[in-house]
């Protein structure tokens, strides 16, 4: 057996995955697809890309078998090929947080209010999920909530909270969550709720992390 040839060829295949994901926009696209299936147009809009540019990045991810596509009418819809694809993104983030001081600097620069917002971990929320006085609030877009959400969570998208505050009981604790650790929707929701006298906290992780942990979810 030619051990050198084996190592070279097998590592080339591993490198295909690393190369496919090693792009700012592709990491964001995978993060979006972790919320649920999306069309090219929807992904392009969310990631602030042209449709042509989004399509190129999606093709690179597809060639590495990280995502799969289906066609419906004139539209092409994409989804993650396997839940472990998002797990790869989780690991990249964890390593970056531990090894790159720049990550903490960026968080401190842009998420200045996060330091004073007490987070709720997934484990804490699991233990409190059935408390009658707790509201779990999903502040992602309605489409994402419909495709999957934490069991029992209520949906009020971040851009509707100001107008729908009257729907939330002021005497109950609220835990808001969104797309993930670096999504700011939950931060913004909690800041707004606190400013109106509500007792609110943000979940430290997001819906994809909850789903990947095989915790109770629902579709609508």
pLDDT at 114: 84
pLDDT at 117: 85
pLDDT at 112: 84
Per-residue H/E/C for the chain: CCHHHHHHHHHHHHHHHHHHHCCHHHHHHHHHHCCCCEEHHHHHHHCCCCHHHHHHHHHHHHHCCCEEEEEECCEEEEEECCCHHHHHHHHHHHHHHHHCHHHHHHHHHHCHHHHHCCEECHHHHHHHCCCCCEEEEECCCHHHHHHCEECCCEECCHHHCHHHHHHCCCCCEEEEECCCCCCCHHHHHHHHHHHCCCCEEEECCCHHHHHHCCCCEECC
List the domain boundaries for the chain: 3-84, 109-218
Tens-place pLDDT, residues 62-108:
999 999 999 999 999 999 999 999 999 999 999 999 999 999 999 99
Low-confidence ranges of the chain (pLDDT < 50): none
Pick the CATH number of 3-84 from 1.10.260.40, 1.10.10.10, 3.40.50.1220, 3.30.10.20: 1.10.10.10
pLDDT at 105: 95
The catalytically annotated residue of 44, 178, 189, 203 is: 178
- Structural contact between residues 203 and 190, judged by C-beta atoms closer than 8 angstroms: no
183 annotated active-site: no
pLDDT at 35: 97
Distance (Å, whole) CA 187 – CA 210: 18
- Structural contact between residues 209 and 183, judged by C-beta atoms closer than 8 angstroms: no
pLDDT at 193: 97
> Under CATH, what is the fold of the domain 109-218?
Oxidized Rhodanese; domain 1 (3.40.250)
* Topology agreement, domain 3-84 and domain 109-218: no
């Amino acid at each position: 057996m030619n051990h050198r040839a084996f190592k070279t060829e097998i590592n080339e295949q591993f490198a295909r995955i690393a190369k496919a994901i090693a792009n700012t926009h592709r990491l964001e696209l995978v993060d979006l697809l972790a919320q649920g299936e999306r069309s090219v147009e929807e992904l392009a809009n969310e990631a602030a890309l042209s449709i042509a540019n989004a399509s190129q990045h999606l093709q690179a991810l597809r060639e590495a078998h990280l995502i799969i596509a289906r066609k419906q009418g004139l539209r092409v819809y994409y989804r993650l090929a396997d839940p472990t694809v998002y797990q790869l993104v989780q690991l990249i983030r964890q390593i970056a947080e531990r090894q790159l001081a720049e990550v903490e600097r960026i968080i401190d620069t842009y998420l200045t209010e996060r330091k004073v917002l007490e987070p709720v971990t997934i484990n804490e929320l699991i233990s409190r999920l059935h408390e009658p006085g707790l509201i779990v609030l999903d502040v992602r877009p309605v489409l994402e909530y419909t495709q999957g959400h934490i069991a029992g969570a209520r949906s009020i998208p971040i851009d509707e909270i100001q107008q729908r505050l009257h729907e939330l009981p002021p005497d109950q604790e609220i835990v808001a969550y969104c797309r993930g650790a670096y999504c700011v929707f939950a931060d913004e929701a909690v800041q707004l709720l606190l400013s109106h006298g509500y007792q609110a906290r943000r979940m430290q992780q997001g819906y994809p992390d909850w789903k990947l942990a095989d915790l109770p979810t629902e579709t609508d």
